[in-house]
Structures are given as structure tokens and as C-alpha cells.
Amino acid sequence: MAEPIRVVVTGAAGQIAYSLLYQLAKGDVFGEKQPLSLHLLDIEPMMGVLNGVVMELQDCALPLLREVIPTADPAVGFKDVDAAFLVGAMPRKEGMERKDLLAANVKIFKAQGQALDQHAKKTVKVLVVGNPANTNSLICSKYAPSIPPANFSAMTRLDQNRAQAQIANRLGVPVNNVNKVTIWGNHSSTQFPDVANATVVTANGETKSVADAINDQAWLNGDFISTVQKRGAAVIAARKLSSAMSAAKAAADHMKDWWNGSPEGSWVSMAVFSDGSYNTPAGVMYSFPVRCSKGQWEIVQGLNLDEFARGKLDLTSKELLEERDEALAVCQD
Ligand code: NAX
């Protein structure tokens, strides 16, 4: 059997981590033959709660789980890690805009970037979930200069999964019949869920474009987009808590595809450093359609963007540039 890998989850006493840790420990992400040590990082006042999570992980009796290290010390949490799920942050409350969160959370990600730089493996793959995820990831990378920028990403997979599910439900097909759904830009209400290139295997086994199968462009350009954009807020309004089970599943999906390769013949959405592709601002963490192979991602090139799409991409670019400038100002304070 392979040597154990080290995986850190921050915010390990929180609600997303509670769903994520089980998926990691049972092999859903790194494979059923890959043993692992879990590093659980949270803040000092949460150590009692975290101890309960450790007990439950033990009680799951999972053969791949070789070691659990609960800690409030980033030097211990990030020591020699191969993969990092940066979930810990202040969650958005009902009525709170993402911008309100930025100042508080960016400082956490600056400190965690510095700790990753000092203590993690240089090959570590970092997935930022804590909001504002794209900008937190950018700041984290900036303060971890010894780790390649391509090793940092932020999560828009929940948005992709939400979009895929909306299309699948409307067409009455299983969700994995829907392929090539793209989330562009920021994980926020300016994101652009785009199905212009998406395909679906219909109930009678035919492969069609989603646009032809749905045959309702007004819905695709209207309610579909706003439902996906506002889904997080809708879950908060209903549950009085932000998405957790679905967020954890999406984090697992994201890392699994990055680590093992994305599905053949399709692509996935990940926020990664923009290289200016599709006239997006180089240097911000922008969600693109990507293909992953051998642990590397590559932006899918050559997709056509009509005027409607162009406007949406530019809008989310503008927000990401504003967030970047605000975050850099906070970090210099
Ligand atoms: P919880 O409040 O349940 O858990 C957060 C945990 O982070 C707490 O245990 C807290 O003590 C810990 N924490 C705070 N500061 C920390 C630090 N400096 N180091 C380590 N741990 C720290 O929130 P939860 O529902 O788990 O959400 C976590 C984050 O995910 C939030 O920022 C939330 O907004 C974000 N989300 C991102 C999503 C995405 O698609 N990118 C979707 C779901 C979610 O809203």
C-alpha cells in the first residue's frame, strides 16, 4: 500500500468540515488505496468541539485513516502537507454581503499563506473554500511565494454542481448526463453559469446541446442564471445556515478531479490564476473551464463567447479587480 499523504482541513470544527472529513477519510478524494493523515486546524476556542470531531473520526473505524492531528497551531497544521482544504473563515450570515466579509477573512488567508510557505510541501495543492474564496486564494498565494501559483485554486465547483443539477432536473435526466457546464469568474452573485457549450444525454440516449434540449433561451439567460447565482442565499434563508453538505461534496469533487484527472470528454470549473485567457484580467483568481491531468490543470481554450457572455465575464472581472485592490489594501494595513 502507498505511503500515507498529509491532508490539512482548516475550520475543522465547522459545519463544512464535518461533512468533508468523512469523505476524505474513507477514500472518496485520494482513492481507496491511499492512506492519509488528517491535520485538523481550527482556532483555540474550538479545541473542545474539535476533540469531539476527532472522537467521531476514530469511531468511524476507517482503514485508510492512519493519524488525526487536531491543532490550533498553523505550524503543526500545515507541516509537510500534500493537500490543503482552506475552509476556516467567518461564514456569511443572512443579509450579509460578501464584501463585508472580505476585510475579516483576507487577514486569515495572509497568515495561512505565510504558514504554508514555511511549513507545507512545495508541491502542496491548495483549495480555498472560505469566502471570498477567489480573493482569499489570491492573497494566500501572494504570501506563499515559494509555492508555485498554479498550486492554488478556489472553489466554484458548488456553483457548477448547482448549475448541472438545475439543467438535469429540468430535463429529467441524471446529473452526470449533463456535461461541459462552465462557471466563469467569481464565486459570488456576479459569477456566470454558462451552458452555451454544454451537452446532455437525453432520456432516449441522444446527445444534444443543452440549448436545443431545453429549447427555452429566455429561461437559460434568465431564471437559470439567477437561480444558480442566488442559490447560496436561498439555502441560508431556508436553513438559517450556509450550504455545508453540498459545499463539502463540491470540495471533494474539486480536489478529486485535480488530483486524479477530470472526466474524459468533459471539463470542470475551478478558480485559478488567470493568464489573460478570454480577455480576463491576468493575475486574479478567475473561474474557468479546466481540464486536469496528472495533477495539473489547463484552461480550456477556443470557446466562443457571444455578446451576452462577454458582458457577464466583464462584470465578474470588474468585481474581482475591486476585491483584489481592497484585499491588498487590507493586507498592507
Ligand atoms: P463554520 O462557521 O461552521 O466553520 C468555520 C470554522 O472555521 C469554525 O470552526 C471557525 O472556528 C474556523 N476558523 C475561523 N478562523 C479560523 C482560522 N484562522 N484558522 C482555522 N480555523 C478558523 O463555517 P462553514 O459553514 O464551515 O463555512 C466555512 C467557509 O466556507 C465560510 O467562509 C463560507 O462562507 C464558505 N463557503 C464557501 C463556499 C464556496 O462555494 N466557495 C460555499 C459554502 C460556504 O458558504
Q: Give tens-digit pLDDT for 288-299.
A: 999 999 999 999
**Which amino acid makes up residue 89?**
A
pLDDT-derived band at 103 (thresholds 50, 70, 90) equals confident
Residue 98 confidence (pLDDT) above 70: no
pLDDT given at position 93: 66
Atom of ligand 1 at shortest range from CA of 156: 40
pLDDT-derived band at 57 (thresholds 50, 70, 90) equals very high
pLDDT-derived band at 105 (thresholds 50, 70, 90) equals very high
pLDDT-derived band at 332 (thresholds 50, 70, 90) equals confident
- Is position 129 annotated in a ligand binding site? yes
Residue 166 confidence (pLDDT) above 80: yes
According to CATH, what is the number of the domain 5-154?
3.40.50.720
pLDDT-derived band at 104 (thresholds 50, 70, 90) equals confident
With a 6 Å cutoff on the Cβ, whether 253 touches ligand 1 is: no
Q: Does domain 157-323 have CATH number 2.40.128.280?
A: no
Catalytic residue selected from 39, 119, 187, 254: 187
Q: Assess contact for 271 and 44: CB atoms under 8 A.
A: no
Residue of the CA atom closest to atom 33 of ligand 1: 91
Residue with cell 482556532: 43
39 has catalytic annotation:
no
Say how many Å lie between the CA of residue 11 and the centre of ligand 1.
6
pLDDT given at position 90: 82
**% of the chain residues with pLDDT over 70:** 97
CA distance 72 to 162: 33
pTM over cut 0.90: yes
Q: Mutation test of ligand 1: which of 131, 139, 253, 255 has the most ligand atoms closer than 8 Å to its C-beta?
A: 131
pLDDT-derived band at 312 (thresholds 50, 70, 90) equals very high
Q: What is the interface pTM, i.e. ipTM, of the complex? A: 0.98
3-state per-residue secondary structure call for the chain: CCCCEEEEEECCCCHHHHHHHHHHHCCCCCCCCCCEEEEEECCHHHHHHHHHHHHHHHHCCCCCEEEEEEECCHHHHCCCCCEEEECCCCCCCCCCCHHHHHHHHHHHHHHHHHHHHHHCCCCCEEEECCCCHHHHHHHHHHCCCCCCHHHEEECCHHHHHHHHHHHHHHHCCCHHHEECCEEEECCCCCCEEECCCCEEECCCCCEEEHHHHHCCHHHHHCHHHHHHHCHHHHHHHHHCCCCCHHHHHHHHHHHHHHHHCCCCCCCEEEEEECCCHHHCCCCCEEEEEEEEECCEEEECCCCCCCHHHHHHHHHHHHHHHHHHHHHHHHHHC
Residue 64 confidence (pLDDT) above 80: yes
Q: What is the mean pLDDT of the chain?
A: 96
With a 6 Å cutoff on the Cβ, whether 39 touches ligand 1 is: no
pLDDT given at position 261: 98
The residues of the chain that CATH labels 3.40.50.720 are 5-154
The residues of the chain that CATH labels 3.90.110.10 are 157-323
| For residues 135-154, average pLDDT | 98
Residue 92 confidence (pLDDT) above 80: no
